[in-house]
Amino acid sequence: MTERTHFDTLKSLAPYLWPKGETELRLRVVASLVLLVLGKAANAVVPIFFARGVDALTPHSGPAAMVAVPIALIVGYGLMRALSSLFAEGRDAVFTKVQARATRQIALSVFKHLHALSLRFHLDRQTGGLTRLIERGVRGITFVLDFALFNIVPTIFEILLVAVILWGMFDFSFAGVTLGAVAIYVTFTLMFTNWRLQFRRRMNETDQQANTRAIDSLLNYETVKYFNAEGHETRRYDSSLARYEKAWTKSEVSLNALNAGQQAIIAVGLTIIMLMAAQGVSAGRMTVGDFVLVNTYMMQLFIPLNFLGFVYREMKQGLTDMEAMFTLMREEREVSDAPGAAPLPPGPGALVFDDVRFAYRPDRQILKGVSLSVPAGKMLAIVGPTGAGKSTISRLLFRFYDVTGGRILIDGSDIRQVTQDSVRQAIGVVPQDTVLFNDTIRYNIAYGRPDATQEEIEAAAKLAQVHDFVLSMPDGYDTMVGERGLKLSGGEKQRVAIARTILKNPRILILDEATSALDTRTEQEIQQALRTVARNRTSLVIAHRLSTVVEADEIIVLRGGEVAERGNHSELIAANGLYAEMWRRQSEALEAAEAAAAAQAAAGLDRSSSARSQGERG
């Protein structure tokens, strides 16, 4: 990809400032530009009224002029200053809606695009850094609009207008010195600021790194505690803060040097033009009012230029931040709808994998020609060793990725030829790692269908066997679940996830290791809820614990990305192959665990009996 210039970034921004079909917003843009010109014109006239007022008050003026003329000039002076301020404030007020709408639309576009990007993109990205990038990009838009449209452009216009006025009123030397001083000032400021940007970039990099580390550490709060790693996390965070401190110090010291240089240029330019004006007064070519006029114009020009270094730096950084955000919007979608894709037609939910092949990378083939079919309303279980490709199948069905070979059919339709939204609407997933939103239990259950009524939410909760638990909480369905649902236990979170899926009412249900992280008792309770959900639905069960798939209509055993065995539980046990071996190992492990638990319980009873006997003897 070729490197884009700041001008390219501004072109990307332009359509949002001149939106199609938004007549009101376009009129606001035009009105704000007219007010900008009027405001600067009024501001340029202010020193003329002031200078003529000074002239009118000089001793050589007659008594009538001493009373009447200065009053008119002073009133005109005040009026021009008031109009200049009113035009500026009116300009900002008129343009505010355009700016707010542009910022909103861009932020919304980025948000929607991020949700449209592939799972691979999000797995490769750090959430903290990504949110910081978007936050800075949106802030950059506001800054660029504020300063580019209403600071830099108006200041350039005012400089040229003042130069024309000075040339017309006196001679080119005054305009030349003014433009020369401004040119030297601007050149010095831009060159020095460009040099200083290296410190700003380091500040941003270290700030983003520190923010990412902080968020990552807080999201993994429990893991930090498990490993007593608070000191380690503090040192990692502090190392980022130390680099930020160093870059920030250099940035501030260089800013002091920039300010000193700017003031020196202003002083020299102002001194030269005042000497010229003083000479003109002495020679009788200029009045005292002209002397004041020239001084006022110079001061009026350099006041906004005092902020040029800051404005230029922030503008450049804002454009860089905006470009980083626009780059996200140009990130290509790995999975996208085919041209003219139609919604998935209604159907009972029959599922077919036809010679499906897939690789996350060219050198890492995961699925090697997997074929399976699940008739509508039946249950298919997929088991196999770790890394066999079980979870990849659910990701392909949900179109987090597209197959690299073969096809997947739902009710006879290739899922690549219909819209992603309709495919995902037809599928409900209960994952192994249930993540809830930091909101109420009601919100998390209703996430399956946000327009559901309270009665429908409670009916789903009852089927998921979580309703009684919710009612036992002080706030009931308004109970907050905490970040990622951490206030709930694993079983409670899983039941909420099941209720959410029930409310969605999908035609195909995927249970992806839905109970592998739960204890045996909780697993049995959850399994009962899952059987209720799966009834009369096409179900795809991906499992590690074979005890959860005994009732499946068919079981597929994957090994190395290929179907090694297939059949129901009894047939696979009788075949005495891979499935039977896995069954025996898990049964032996379960028996050993139960024996250990029984022994531990017996030991506890023996200790209790011994203690009672000693008490009786005592």
Q: What is the pLDDT of residues 479-507, one digit of tens each?
A: 888 876 778 887 788 888 888 888 888 88
Dist. CA 34–CA 301, nearest whole Å:
21
Span 208-229, mean pLDDT?
82
Span 183-200, mean pLDDT?
83
Contact 206, 213 (CB under 8 A): no
Q: Does position 612 have pLDDT exceeding 80, yes or no?
A: no
Q: Does position 98 have pLDDT exceeding 80, yes or no?
A: yes
Q: What is the pLDDT of residues 281-295, one digit of tens each?
A: 888 888 888 888 888
Dist. CA 502–CA 459, nearest whole Å:
9
Q: Let me know if the fold of 6-330 is the same as that of 351-577.
A: no
Q: According to the model, what pLDDT value does residue 27 have?
A: 92
Number of Cβ within a 10 Å radius of residue 584? 12
Q: What is the pLDDT of residues 11-34, one digit of tens each?
A: 778 788 888 878 888 899 899 889
Q: Where are the domains of the chain?
A: 6-330, 351-577
Its CATH class, for the domain covering 351-577, is alpha beta
6-330: CATH topology is ABC transporter transmembrane region fold (1.20.1560)
Q: According to the model, what pLDDT value does residue 136 have?
A: 78
Q: What is the pTM of this model?
A: 0.62
How many percent of the chain have pLDDT more than 70?
A: 88
Q: What is the pLDDT of residues 109-135, one digit of tens each?
A: 888 877 777 667 666 665 556 777 777
| 62 conformational bin, left if phi > 0, alpha if psi -120 to 50, beta if neither | beta
For 486-591, where are the E strands, in sequence order?
508-512, 538-542, 554-559, 562-567
**CA distances for 109 relative to 208, 323, 326, angstroms:** 22, 14, 10
How many percent of the chain have pLDDT more than 90?
A: 5
The rounded mean pLDDT for the chain is 81
Q: According to the model, what pLDDT value does residue 122 have?
A: 66
